Structure formats: C-alpha cells, structure tokens
Amino acid sequence: MNKQNKTAILNRLKSAAGHVNGIVTMVEQDRYCIDVIKQIRATQAALDKVSQLILDDHMHTCVTTAIQGDDQDERERVLLELSDLFAEANK
C-alpha cells in the first residue's frame, strides 16, 4: 500500500471510529432512535468507502503483480480470492 493511500485509509478509519464513539454516546443518552440509525448508516457508508479504497489498492498492487507473474497457482489463488470476496458480499 502506498503512503498516500495508507494515510487516506487511516484517516477514514479514525473518522469512522469517532462516529462509532458518537453512536455509543447517543445510545447512552437515549437519543432519538432514527437519529442513531442515521449515524449508524453514515458510519457503515464510511467503512464501505474504506473497503473500496483497500480493494482498489489491492487490485493495483497484489492482483496486478500476480496476474503479470509467471506463477499460475498464484494467479489462480488471487482470482479465487477476489471471487470469494464478491460471493461473500452478495450473500
């Protein structure tokens, strides 16, 4: 992972952690349920973006290296890994 991507990912994760802490506080304060749910959804969206950034970086580094390499088993492993990831997401 390059330094710029890592920094962006860490910043987003720290932001999401702050949102989770805020949600905990909202629940402790018995805040309005819909407001809590909205914050949960915003946090989920932030984590989805982090996942997307990591996957994009993975495809541009690890996957590209495996596909361009000479090791057929490694190519198949990486492709199966991606296939499994998307199968899991579609459950």
Contact 75, 69 (CB under 8 A): yes
Q: Which domain holds residue 70?
A: 3-89
Tens of pLDDT, residue by residue, the chain (91 residues): 889 999 999 999 999 999 999 999 999 999 999 999 999 999 999 999 999 999 999 999 999 999 999 999 999 999 999 999 989 988 8
Q: What is the pTM of this model?
A: 0.84
Q: Which ranges in 1-91 belong to alpha helices (H)? A: 3-28, 33-58, 64-68, 72-89
Domain count, the chain: 1
Q: Assign residue 19 the CATH number of its domain.
A: 1.20.58.1000
